[in-house]
Amino acid sequence: MLTVDFDRYPVTEGCRLLDLGCGTGRHGFEAFRRGSEVVALDHAAAEVTGVGQMFAAMAAQGQVPPAARAACVRGDALALPFADATFDRVIAAEVLEHISDDARAMAELARVLRPGGLAAVTVPAWLPERICWRLSTAYHSVEGGHIRIYRQRDLLARLRAVGLDPVDRHTAHALHAPYWWLRCLVGVHNDGHPATRLYHRVLVWDMMRRPWPTRLAERVLNPLIGKSVVFYLRKPEVPRAAG
């Protein structure tokens, strides 16, 4: 399930892309399929290993163009192990809400992006996230969980402050918001509850089949209850003057 819309965020063959906080690798895999030179970075060793194995399997099965390249790195978002202006694209999907010093992470993201390059930053949208926090303390109090809720205008101001200019935005995954509200009601760790199991089956069916009624419903509901908000930003060719 992709949160970044690759129709709005052009990733082409030979493009150097960093999947920052890659998790299970969903966006890195899509960029790899499109022929990019992908680096997937995460702090969790298990995630890095799993994503690397999937990259190797994709290449072995001929799912990527011959020029595509992929590598996995275990690293820290607060001190990225790359030189300035290394990447044409940087994706940070559902990452910043986990990081205490998120301002430093934003500055690092901007530093490794080349002038003229594009970033895609996604975070949980304010309203659906606020409802989850109200319904369940366990939803956000786990180790490594969400430590803040962003308002769009505040996050955009902070991304501007590190030198990134917004070019587009949208919300996504409206059908997932009620699923998480339901999980918060019955217990976020209660994976066996029949209501959440049934809803999860519907979500999997929707992702696999993508029928038009659910696609239409999500398109209508996304501006209201989209679970994630996505920002697309450009690093200017010429740095902005101070102030």
Q: Give pLDDT tens digits for 73-100.
A: 999 999 999 999 999 999 999 999 999 9
Output phi, psi for 66, to 5 deg: -55, -30
Say if residue 115's pLDDT is above 70: yes
DSSP string, 18-71: EEET-TT-HHHHHHHHTT-EEEEEES-HHHHHHHHHHHHHHHHTT-S-TT-EEE
CATH superfamily of 76-234: Vaccinia Virus protein VP39 (3.40.50.150)
Residue 52: partners with Cβ closer than 8 Å, 6 or more residues away? 40, 71, 72
Mean pLDDT of the chain: 95
pLDDT at 241: 63
Q: Where are the domains of the chain?
A: 76-234
pLDDT tens-digit readout, 155-169: 999 999 999 999 999
Enter the tokens of residue 142.
Answer: 């786990």
User: Would the pTM count as exceeding 0.85?
Assistant: yes
Nearest in space to 86 (alpha carbons), one of 15, 25, 23: 15
Say if residue 242's pLDDT is above 60: no
pLDDT tens-digit readout, 49-77: 999 999 999 999 999 999 999 999 999 99
